[in-house]
């Protein structure tokens, strides 16, 4: 997969610094202005708007987070990477690979179709195609290619079926891909507007590839970082009070970290394994949905047309249908029903990243840990929590919660067990039959003799109201 996304070109950074700037003169510069060379851009050149420039700066920041190079904005036209618009190019946007062109000053430049020529390039919020376009093109400037031998242009008609060269060639895995995340089963949505969502950051295969080329940045968010609600990640894209429909990948270099979906007000499935995908979003009020729709309509042109405002009934019906469909997908994958998420496989964790903790929503959630010590908090709803390896601490919160265990050598703690309401699920533990599972009230510990030799070899510590035999689920 790395071989598919790595173009083979790399940007040479003097003293580890890459400069970028915005072409802002009355005309293009240098070799672009040589009519003998036939560059398409000069005839329709315009500077990027302030809004486009802000997205380009964020794109540089997102890539900067991943690799040890430093990206520094420079005034003037002599930077390593230049950004500009044009109306005379062949496509939505394009960029030159580093060191690709015989004229070095052309290398790594980014050109986007002027929004007057292509309205999607002024659709610049987190869910906008203009946002994705700029992050994608910036990946080209660093030497990433499309994952297959395809490129938009006159007569282009290739699709995933005949254009993808490997299964993961979709926007679920790579922002450099042309193909919808739905091609690989994901369903990222911006339910505030009612549209499929686009990737907002470099995705997990992009992170793997760019770090194979340049190395991984060991300084990115090395403290204890929270992503989602109550975020301290230092970037609004990871703050779900600002980015309500996240479709992104998380790279984190250290610390004790948390994905917090406590404000999502709809079910979530969080999987903390590296390289995994999670599902969830934020349910809008009617006012929020219509404000987002108005923002989208402000970006569109007459060909696209405007979306009608939501009514409370139409919004409720749509969100209900989305939740039902996402719940069916999550159940098909995990066997757990009733997780009414608003997107499917829209959040991912980089292959080399450890996230220790997960906090769910006020609705029914499914929370999976990984093989380090996790703290999982279900909050409201009838949640299902499974810590996997490591000595985990599990909080169900309000509702009738289910705590799922396996014999993995760890000793987990249920921090708020409510007898008669919550369940300990031992159906996946071989040998955990009723005759060989006991609760010791003195030590507040469930003890399991899985090999039936008279000595307990698996333990679950309990804080709460005790455990009755009827609170335990056994394999039939």
| pLDDT tier at 395, thresholds 50, 70, 90 | very high
d(CA 292, CA 298): 10
Q: Are 388 and 289 in contact (CB under 8 A)?
A: no
Of residues 186, 180, 22, 41, the one with CA closest to residue 101: 41
Write the pLDDT tens digit of every residue in 355-383.
999 999 999 999 999 999 999 999 999 99
> Is 0.75 surpassed by the pTM of this model?
yes
Query: What pLDDT shows up at residue 29?
Result: 83
Q: What's the pLDDT band for 464 if we cut at 50, 70, 90?
A: confident
In whole angstroms, give the CA distance from residue 144 to residue 129. Answer: 19
Catalytic residue, candidates 58, 137, 183, 345: 137
pLDDT band at 157 (very low <50, low <70, confident <90, very high): confident
| DSSP assignment letter at 75 | S
Give the model's confidence band at 103: pLDDT under 50 very low, under 70 low, under 90 confident, else very high: low
From residue 125, how far is each of 59, 227, 299 by CA, in Å?
Answer: 13, 19, 10
Q: What angle do CA 379, 220, 265 make, to 5 degrees?
A: 20
Q: Alpha carbon 264 to chain centroid distance?
A: 15
Q: What is the CA radius of gyration of the chain?
A: 25
**Mind listing the pLDDT tens digit for each residue in 274-324?**
999 999 999 999 999 999 999 999 999 998 999 999 999 999 999 999 999
Residues in contact with 50: Cβ distance below 8 Å, sequence separation at least 6, in sequence order: none
- Stretch 432-452: mean pLDDT, rounded? 95
pLDDT of the residue at 101:
57
Taking the C-alpha atoms of residue 401 and residue 406, their distance in angstroms, rounded to an integer, is 17
- pLDDT category at 106 given cuts 50, 70, 90 is confident
pLDDT in tens, 59-78: 999 999 999 999 999 987 77
Q: Calculate mean pLDDT across residues 337-361.
A: 98
Question: 358 forms bridges with which residues in the sheet?
Answer: 259, 376
Closest to 23 (Cα-Cα) out of 1, 42, 4, 37: 42
Told to judge if 137 belongs to the known catalytic residues of this protein, a careful annotator would answer yes
Distance CA 114, CA 156 (A): 21
pLDDT at 102 over 60: no
């Amino acid at each position: 997969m790395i071989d598919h996304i790595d173009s083979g070109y790399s940007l040479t950074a003097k003293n580890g610094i890459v400069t970028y700037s915005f072409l802002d003169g009355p005309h293009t510069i240098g070799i672009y202005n040589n009519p003998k060379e036939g560059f398409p851009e000069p005839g329709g050149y315009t500077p990027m708007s302030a809004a486009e420039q802000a997205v380009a700066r964020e794109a540089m920041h997102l890539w900067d987070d991943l690799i040890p190079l430093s990206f520094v904005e420079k005034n003037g036209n002599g930077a390593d990477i230049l950004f500009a618009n044009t109306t005379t190019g062949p496509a939505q946007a394009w960029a030159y690979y580093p060191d690709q062109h015989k004229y070095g000053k052309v290398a790594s430049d980014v050109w986007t179709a002027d929004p007057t020529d292509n309205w999607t390039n002024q659709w610049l919020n987190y869910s906008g195609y203009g946002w994705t376009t700029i992050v994608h093109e910036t990946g080209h400037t660093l030497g990433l290619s499309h994952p297959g031998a395809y490129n938009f242009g006159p007569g282009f008609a290739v699709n995933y079926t005949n254009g993808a060269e490997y299964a993961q060639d979709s926007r679920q895995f790579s922002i450099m891909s042309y193909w919808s995340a739905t091609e690989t089963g994901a369903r990222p949505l911006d339910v505030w507007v009612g549209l499929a969502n686009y990737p907002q950051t470099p995705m997990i295969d992009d992170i793997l590839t760019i770090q194979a080329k340049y190395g991984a940045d060991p300084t990115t968010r090395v403290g204890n970082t929270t992503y989602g609600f109550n975020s301290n990640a230092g970037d609004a894209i990871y703050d779900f009070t600002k980015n309500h429909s996240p479709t992104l990948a998380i790279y984190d270099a250290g610390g004790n970290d948390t994905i917090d979906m406590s404000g999502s007000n709809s079910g979530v499935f969080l999987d903390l394994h590296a390289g995994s995908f999670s599902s969830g979003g934020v349910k809008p009020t009617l006012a929020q949905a219509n404000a987002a729709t108005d923002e989208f309509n402000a970006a569109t042109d007459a060909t696209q047309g405007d979306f009608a405002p939501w009514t409370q009934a139409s919004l409720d019906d749509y969100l209900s249908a989305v939740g039902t469909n996402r719940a069916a997908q999550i159940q098909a994958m995990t066997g757990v029903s009733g997780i009414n998420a608003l997107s499917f496989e829209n959040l991912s964790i980089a292959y080399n990243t450890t996230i220790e903790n997960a906090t769910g929503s006020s609705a029914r959630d499914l929370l999976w840990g990984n093989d380090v010590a996790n703290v999982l908090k279900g909050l409201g709803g009838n949640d299902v929590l499974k810590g996997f390896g490591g000595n985990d601490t599990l909080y169900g919160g309000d509702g009738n919660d289910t705590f799922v265990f396996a014999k993995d050598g760890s000793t987990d703690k249920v921090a708020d067990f409510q007898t008669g309401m919550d369940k300990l699920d031992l159906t996946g533990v071989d040998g955990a039959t009723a005759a060989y599972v006991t609760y010791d009230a003195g030590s507040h510990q469930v003890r399991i003799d899985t090999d039936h030799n008279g000595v307990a070899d698996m333990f679950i510590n309990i804080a709460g109201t005790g455990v009755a035999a009827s609170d335990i689920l056994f394999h039939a």
